[in-house]
Amino acid sequence: MNFKKNLVNVLLSLLVMLFCFSCKGDGDDSKPNIIIIMADDLGYGDVSAYNQGTLNTPGIDKLAKSGLLFTNGYATAATCTPSRYSLLTGDYPWRNNSAKILPGDAPLLIDTSGVTLPKLLKSAGYTTGVVGKWHLGLGNGNVDWNNYINLNPNAVGFDYSYIMAATNDRVPNVYVEDGHVCNLSKDDPLFVSYKKNFPNEPTGAANPEKLRMMYSEGHDGSINNGVSRIGFQKGGKSAQWVDEDMADIFLEQSIEFIKNNTKKPFFLYYALHQPHVPRIPHSRFVGATGMGPRGDAIAEADWCIGELMKALEKEGLSENTIVVFTSDNGPIMDDGYVDQAEALKGDHTPMGHLRGGKYSLYEAGTRVPFIVKWEGHVKPGISDALVCQVDLMASLAKLTKQAVPQCDSEDILDALMGKTQKGRENLIIEGLYHRTAFRRGKWLMIPPYSGPAIVPGKVTHETGFNPGYQLYNLQEDEQQLENLASLYPRLLKQLQTEYSRVIETRNHR
């Protein structure tokens, strides 16, 4: 009798365990936590897992070793605001004429009535947060920084936001948490202008003796922390950031968000500011690479990623969290400050073997590091599938069983999960001035464009503009050394037709 009773108890226990395991598995598959880590101006060759440059990135490499590394991962644009717009809206940036590099006092770029990635995930039961660089506008274009800013990231689907308003080289140099400027004293109000300086306020142009980092062009406005920025600000001294502390602050806020949401699914958009100018890493990382401030800023970002992964492990969330790592656009050396980025890089190649860089229609402008990790679901390895940040909207919608609105995002979930090497069939990328190029399969077509061949003020960066058509076979010529347009007139015509069709239509779901 006891034997039978014990046997029944054992069988019941096994059934309970199997039931719990089954439920846990269903939950993991349908609602994993999602973290998107986006670096700023990090090149294809800046991540050592790609075996292109000489800089060492152990934190990112560990992510790549346990995940899927994409060799054909793209941002939609070679500049920051447009590519970030695509990530959160699922649309190509050139469909919105205002989706360009924004000043720090620009109005909110994203339509609050439209569907966004955080809104889509909220509808699936996710808590959503953004920490770090925003650069998608705030308010209505006439922001009172001393009061609540109602048009902030929370208005487009984020439950929590801790951001810098624009970039680290633009005013205002303050953090904004859920629409409020952090640590702002009522006795010292903050004022911002992109038209003219405030009386008696020092600037880089007028007071270079106050600078610890000299500007090279354009960044000669108000001074904060010994660095002059784009634009002008007055007051708000209690709220202004210290550049050296920025990485730690954003990391701490990201980890705190994770800790506060361990019991329910969350989406975190962790937007790093490195290695965007001005590159001023914490003293712990100064001299870490021997490549000057740019290399050291990348080492700092790499450490931050490693620490974030440790936080996930500590909370027991590693197996139930999808991590996507990428960059908003390609790399650049001199982008407004004299920090010897070019002189000190040595043999390192931030662009890898690719042509171009930030602002460019050539490959190094938009082909970026792209890694997807999900323990137990994504088999580690390398994928050549054509994938793009704009497709995270449709792909994560499929994963979480949500409907996707009409947009440019495509469902490439199987490619992101490593189930297939087939990604997008075609992609439109954007360089300067909303000018675009078309990739289909191994071919890249750049239409004729007038304008400078070199990015203004960036003597080593090509725009990709040329008075004639350009056609490159990226499978055989990733460096884009041989223009094949004159050799394949029929193919060129086919690409022109398909390019026009994609421009005129969005995906319907």
Instruction: Looking at the structure, tell me whether residues 356 and 462 fall in a common domain.
Output: no
Where among 405, 422, 439 does a domain terminate?
Answer: 422
Q: Average the pLDDT over 374-389 and give the result.
A: 98
Q: Is the peptide bond prior to 275 cis by the omega test (within 30 degrees of 0)?
A: yes
Judge whether 54 and 289 are in contact, CB under 8 Å. Answer: no
Residue 24 within any structural domain of the chain: no
Q: Do 210 and 329 belong to one domain? A: yes
For residue 497, tell me if it sits in a domain: yes
Domain of 275, CATH number, reads 3.40.720.10
Tell me which of 165-179, 234-248, 314-328, 493-507 is least confident.
493-507
Instruction: Report the distance separating Cα 296 and Cα 61, nearest Å.
Output: 17
Eight-state DSSP code of residue 225: T
Tell me if 6 is assigned to some domain: no
C-alpha distance from residue 40 to each of 43, 47, 235 (Å): 9, 13, 28
User: What's the pLDDT score for residue 217?
Assistant: 87
For residue 236, being part of any structural domain is answered with: yes
Q: What is the CATH number of the domain that holds 452?
A: 3.30.1120.10
Nearest CA to 368 among 37, 67, 54? Answer: 37
Rounded to 5 degrees, φ, ψ at 430 are: -125, 140
Query: Is pLDDT above 50 for 235?
Result: yes
Note the pLDDT of residue 1. 47
Mean pLDDT is lowest, of 11-20, 37-46, 344-353, for: 11-20
Residue 279 confidence (pLDDT) above 80 = yes
The total domain count for the chain is 2
Residue labelled with tokens 């005013």: 171
Average pLDDT over residues 90-111: 97
Q: Does residue 267 share a domain with residue 391?
A: yes
Q: Are residues 334 and 416 in the same domain?
A: yes
Give the SS3 label for residue 416: helix
The whole-number pLDDT of residue 22 equals 39
**22 lies in some domain:** no
Considering the domain architecture, whether residues 202 and 339 belong to the same structural domain is answered as yes
117: burial class by Cβ within 10 Å (0-12, 13-18, 19+)? Answer: buried
Do 228 and 298 fall within a single domain?
yes
Query: What residues pair up with 72 in beta bridges, in sequence order?
Result: 386
For the entire predicted model, the pTM comes to: 0.94
Examine residue 8 and state whether it is found in any structural domain, yes or no.
Answer: no
20 belongs to a structural domain: no
Indicate whether 365 and 480 sit together in one domain: no
**Cα angle vertex 40, ends 197, 399, to 5°?**
130
Asked if 137 and 106 touch (Cβ cutoff 8 Å), the reply is yes
Q: Are residues 375 and 497 in the same domain?
A: no
Of residues 6 and 285, the one with the higher pLDDT is: 285
Question: Is residue 344 domain-shared with residue 200, that is, in the same domain?
Answer: yes
| DSSP structure class, residue 369 | -
Mean pLDDT of 160-168: 96
Let me know the angle formed at the C-alpha of 492 by 488 and 494, rounded to the nearest 5 degrees.
Answer: 120
Written as one string, the DSSP assignment of 95-142 is: GSTT-SPPPTTPPP-S-TTS--HHHHHHTTT-EEEEEEE--S--TTSS
Same domain, 150 and 237: yes
**pLDDT tens sequence across 280-317:** 999 999 999 999 999 999 999 999 999 999 999 999 99
E strands in 236-288: 266-271
Domain end call among 422, 447, 480: 422
Mean pLDDT in residue range 419-428: 97
CA end-to-end distance (rounded Å), the chain: 61
Together in a domain, 349 and 494: no
Q: Looking at residue 18, what is its pLDDT?
A: 42
Q: Cβ(40)–Cβ(275) under 8 Å?
A: yes
- Please indicate, yes or no, whether residues 413 and 467 belong to a single structural domain of this protein: no
Q: Which of 403, 422, 441 is the last residue of a domain?
A: 422
On whether residue 19 sits in a domain, the answer given is: no
What is the pLDDT at residue 17?
42
Residue range of the domain that includes 379: 32-422
